[in-house]
Amino acid sequence: MLEIESLVKRFGNTAVVDGISFSAGAGEVVGFVGPNGAGKSTTMKVICGLLKQNSGKVTIDGIAFSEDTQTYLSKLGALIESPAFYPGLNGRDHLAYLARMRGRYMEGLIGSTLARVGLDTDSNKPVKKYSTGMKQRLGIAMAILHQPKVLILDEPTNGLDPAAIVAMRDLLRQLAECGTAVLVSSHLLFEIERVCDRVVFIKSGRVIRDQKIRQDMPSVVRMLVRCSNPEAAQETLGKQDFILEIQPSEKGLVCTLSAQKVGHLGFILVHSGLEILELSPVRGGLEDAYVSDYGTGMREGLK
């Protein structure tokens, strides 16, 4: 569906993207991973037609941006960097305006799209009163309103709380189940590991690894939990059936649990009135692959 062939993008004499090739098929969620400056955002902007490549080709269903721009864009949805809004308009008005511009205004589709991103109850509130996370969800609603075949997302969980991150993960899988090809870039490796079918690693503008992950996802994972009140946290988490084991350590609590229940950790702690200082995976899986490819010195690129 989305095909990228030998893509090159230079700024001056520097090749920021240097011969990248990979694809994303219908119903596939592909993670796009690498340190800052690796070429992720540049690649996404070329896919979206915001930048023109020096050579190579990007196609959706065999159609290139330069060959049939209108058809190409009709198949593409994207959220790149921070979305722009009209502060005085509410969320519903933004989608209605966008739908009318595309000649596809359907009230039912607007309502269902707002519900999918969790904004149905806030749809009549002016965007200037939206939180960062709400604006992020509205941006995604605008990207999927026309039911694109390919969806490009750059850091889609920015500003989202733990419960909203879980909902975002579910939404991406739902879109994939409906046949959408999703390309998602994120610095949250654990979230990438939970939602993606494949991960494409890039470094210095080149693909260095293309790895399938969902088939090999562990059924049990270990998470480090640090809270302001570790005793209360241990008591609270110890009551949860999906927590298989809790081990106090010098850094905090190491919880062993079902991989499918990781998103519930933060939700439970927050709703128990506990302040989360850290919630991170104990090394393994995708993080090991990242360190192997980029070295421990590259971890700063994730911050």
The pLDDT tens digits for 104-130 are 788 889 999 999 888 999 999 999 999
> In terms of residue numbers, what domain contains 76?
2-216
In the block, tokens 């707002």 appear at 114
Q: Is residue 290, in this structure, part of any structural domain at all?
A: no
Q: According to DSSP H, which parts of 196-260 are helical?
A: 230-238
Q: How far is the C-alpha of 76 from the C-alpha of 147, rounded, in Å?
A: 9
For residues 16 and 80, membership in a common domain is answered with yes
Q: Is residue 252, in this structure, part of any structural domain at all?
A: yes
19 contacts 8 by C-beta, under 8 angstroms: yes
Report the Cα–Cα distance between both ends of the chain, in Å, rounded: 32
For residues 81 and 124, membership in a common domain is answered with yes
For residues 279 and 211, membership in a common domain is answered with no
Q: How far is the C-alpha of 49 from the C-alpha of 28, rounded, in Å?
A: 22
Distances from the Cα of 51 to the Cα of 42, 122, 183, 186, 204, angstroms: 8, 34, 17, 21, 18
**What's the pTM value of the predicted model, to 2 decimals?**
0.73
Q: Is residue 295, in this structure, part of any structural domain at all?
A: no
Q: Is residue 300, in this structure, part of any structural domain at all?
A: no
Domain end residue (candidates: 188, 216, 244): 216
Residue range 209-231, pLDDT digits in tens:
888 875 544 566 788 999 989 99
Q: Which of 29, 33, 25, 28 is nearest to 60 (CA)?
A: 25
Highest mean pLDDT among 31-40, 206-215, 219-228, 236-245: 31-40
| Residue 187: both structure tokens together | 């610095």
φ, ψ for residue 142, nearest 5 deg:
-65, -35
For residues 193 and 253, membership in a common domain is answered with no
64-68, 177-181, 252-256, 297-301, range with the lowest pLDDT = 297-301
Q: According to DSSP H, which parts of the chain are helical?
A: 40-47, 69-74, 91-101, 107-116, 132-144, 162-177, 189-195, 230-238, 262-271, 286-294
Domain count, the chain: 2
CATH number, domain with residue 119: 3.40.50.300
Spell out the residues 6+ positions from residue 298 whose beta carbon is closer than 8 angstroms to its own: 35, 290, 291
